[in-house]
Structure 1
Amino acid sequence: MRTLILGASNNPARYSFMAAHRLVNAGHEIIPVGIKKGEVAGSEIRSTVEGISDIHTVTLYLSQRNQAPYEDFLLQLKPERVIFNPGTENPELMEKLIKEGVDAFEACNLVMLGTGQF
């Protein structure tokens, strides 16, 4: 399952870093996108979403304000689901995604992985 991590980081203290490693360890392919260059869990962190397609799940690690540049992309991407991790809550974007048929909800990616819900 291809998972796009928006707000990816190579900083081990960040939850997106932990999620990337847990996703890869669980056998998921990740596409990390973030503002800082580097790598996480064996994948290069991309600085742009250009050319990204065929994504099953998007897991957000960006504040509502920082999600704005990606809103149109997410609506056009039409992933199966978008996970709004704690601190990323955005009711307006969530409602738009749901209207487009995307399973969009607030949850913790790490908890989902730990409980077999991912």
Structure 2
Amino acid sequence: MSKARKTTFEEPIEIVHDCLMNQRNYGQMAIKYQVSYQQVRNWVLKYEAMGEIGLQDRRGHRAGTIPSRTPEGTMHDQLAIQERRIKQLEMENNLLKKVRAFERMWN
């Protein structure tokens, strides 16, 4: 089993194409490119499900900040944006209520 190594966005695409050309020989590709068997398999499955966009690393990005990969993802992103907006408005509303309460106390 190989240790994980950093890869550029182009490397998984190259590995997936090579793997598909060699009858999905994950083990051979793992040895050839010095990555783990499981990583090659995961890349191939993501590539088949979503294409090259599926191989993008989206960790650390908030929902709705970058385009989604699927229609369901788009709906999820829109929902997350609306939920953040509602939370922001609720906080503003609570703050205004507190300001009004202080104004009544001092007047």
Q: Place the TM-score, normalised by the shorter chain, in its bin.
A: under 0.3
- Normalising to structure 1: TM-score of the pair? 0.22
Q: Which has the higher strand share?
A: 1
Q: TM-score, normalised by structure 2?
A: 0.24
Q: Which has the larger radius of gyration?
A: 2
Which protein has the bigger helix share? 2
